[in-house]
Structure 1
């Protein structure tokens, strides 16, 4: 995909940076706790948080590791993340670096831990990003990726893709668990484990986070309401008087390690 797309990503997240930083849905979650259980961070670990967004994952892990580099493609969102973490106080081991997930500006073997949360669906080339994750991890390094899970039903999956692109033009693709396992294994990782989590979203907050105006929110609301019953069943869509109140998707956590030996 051309560089023009990544410039549009930067523009999109520059405009909506504050909404991502102060969104409660990103600030906490069972997925972060489970990632920590699998990664087993120690105060010897050097961690990279790819596509840090509002900095919530970096903030969560900072007290548990020696240092965190919070990286993102968009400088404006990095600045907001830095302000957010500074406001929390007491966190002095996080640095910030502008970086493309598909071309990370770090030497091979720079980190012992790597995280990437609710971001890969924006990446034009996820297999290339995974190769970079593998490269910058030391042998024995651990990785945790969390992203939205693509529904198995082809019709529901297609509707989900359409819905996400209506809401956010920088959304590219989510993947099934099977496809994630294939990509992670192809990148060279081993000891792969997965876990799924439901995530309920307040509809209006979720829709507005990507910058939709009132008309855009109404159009997306109509899409949900008019969707077939199996879409409503899968996403547990809650409506009242023709207005969508919430929906629940599934997040997939993928844990893997870089082998100790070649």
Structure 2
């Protein structure tokens, strides 16, 4: 099941890689600035960026560390990310590696820092991935920042969110609440040092088409938003004009955690 699903993930992101490279929302943001402030990287750090997508997080951190390994499940995405970093220029300490977040091809203790941004909702087994993150981080100094979409606490709103994400992108597995994240991270032998929540406003058309939806799919998703109860419109701040959704806002969670050494 997981193997078949990951094949679909590779196929999906091979088709849509260019959209993620050019997506305006990935290149910067308050979440990255907060991650930098919390992690306090130095030139002694070796950083692993998990599920690097377009390479934006790797590029952001590269000037602040000795080296970055940008890893992703999808080879086509890695190729596009490498092209993007070459175009942007200014860094020469990023290497690229095909890797499954749940089965990382790196020796124990290979890295002092780790990032994983807007990706875990695609993972089939987040606790297993977190155990791998713990394994590849170095004792005493290992620390990580995870950023992903926050699942609303309200069950109705959470169900609405899960439904529209899977309508848009069949490789979406699920998002998690803040408490679910804290529990999973702590069970993987990390100490949660800080959690932060950021609002994120999405241009609806760009967001929908980036995942590869055709015109009929975008129309169906648009109508799903339009027909949603007022409660959903309020929570997601859905902006419409003449029957078309222009934007909506969700929330991202940042978890900063340090590695607890096994006894």
TM class, shorter-length = over 0.9
Q: 2:24: which partner in 1? A: 24
Superposed, which structure 2 residues align to 1:191-210 within 5 Å?
191-210=192-211
Superposed, which structure 2 residues align to 1:77-226 within 5 Å?
77-139=77-139, 140-226=141-227
Q: Equivalents in 2 of 1:10, 1:60: separation in Å?
A: 24
Q: RMSD in angstroms over aligned alpha carbons?
A: 0.8
| Cα shift readout 1:38-70 (whole Å, capped 9, x = no counterpart) | 000101100000000000000000000000000
Secondary structure of the residue aligned to 2:108 is coil
Tell me whether 251-260 or 218-227 shows the greater mean CA deviation: 251-260
Secondary structure of the residue aligned to 2:91 is coil
Q: Equivalents in 1 of 2:157, 2:260: separation in Å?
A: 37
Q: Equivalents in 1 of 2:207, 2:190: separation in Å?
A: 33
Q: Equivalents in 1 of 2:243, 2:219: separation in Å?
A: 11
Q: Equivalents in 2 of 1:207, 1:58: separation in Å?
A: 25
Q: CA deviation at 1:222?
A: 0.2
Q: CA deviation at 1:246?
A: 0.2
Q: CA deviation at 1:2?
A: 2.6
Secondary structure of the residue aligned to 2:43 is coil
Moved over 6 A (4+): none
Q: 2:232: which partner in 1? A: 231
Q: CA deviation at 1:136?
A: 0.2
TM-score by length of 1: 0.99
Tell me whether 107-116 or 187-196 shows the greater mean CA deviation: 187-196
Paired residues, number: 262
Q: Equivalents in 2 of 1:185, 1:23: separation in Å?
A: 32
Q: 1:53: which partner in 2? A: 53
Q: CA deviation at 1:200?
A: 0.3
Q: CA deviation at 1:239?
A: 0.4
Query: Contact (CA 8 Å) 2:185, 2:192: kept in 1 or not?
Result: no
Structure 1 unmatched runs, 5+? none
| Cα shift readout 1:135-165 (whole Å, capped 9, x = no counterpart) | 0000121100000000111001001100000
Q: CA deviation at 1:117?
A: 0.1
Q: Equivalents in 1 of 2:83, 2:260: separation in Å?
A: 36
